[in-house]
Amino acid sequence: EAQVTQNPRYLITVTGKKLTVTCSQNMNHEYMSWYRQDPGLGLRQIYYSMNVEVTDKGDVPEGYKVSRKEKRNFPLILESPSPNQTSLYFCASRDVFEKLFFGSGTQLSVL
């Protein structure tokens, strides 16, 4: 089944403790991206990647890192999480017809 898989689904952590949210797609898509979704602010793009080893900042990249060492994986790294990064995170990949496939989301709480 074609899908974008992100883990974990729920994560509670404390300020300053490094964490990684994994994202993997099995559709051989070149383009992948990360979004955060907050009430009243909608979906905002954090980082995107057009291909292996090619990444670029979205609208809200501060406090996040990404890497794209393989086509299928695009992890999101929070080196020193802060409470304002409490949010619902989505990973997505895009096919050649512009269709975005989203993962099921990661609800992150930073205490």
Q: Which two tokens stand for residue 20?
A: 């990684």
* 46: three-class secondary structure by DSSP: strand
Residue 82, CB-side half-sphere exposure with 13 Å CA sphere: 4
Nearest approach in angstroms of CB 16 to another protein is 28
- Residues 20-59 close enough to bind another protein by CB under 8 A: 31, 40-45, 48, 50, 56, 58-59
Residue among 32, 23, 49, 41 at smallest CA distance from 87: 41
Residue showing tokens 């999480």: 81
The least CB distance from residue 15 to another protein, in Å, is 26
Q: How far is the CB of 47 from another protein (least distance, A)?
A: 11
Which CB atom, from 15 or from 26, has the smaller least distance to another protein? 26
Number of residues that bind another protein (CB under 8 A): 23
Q: Nearest Cα to 94, choosing from 85, 103, 86?
A: 103
Reduced to 3 states, what is the DSSP secondary structure of residue 85?
Answer: helix
Residues in region 63-92 near another protein by CB under 8 A: 90, 92
Tell me which residues touch another protein (CB under 8 A).
4, 31, 40-45, 48, 50, 56, 58-59, 90, 92, 97-100, 102-105
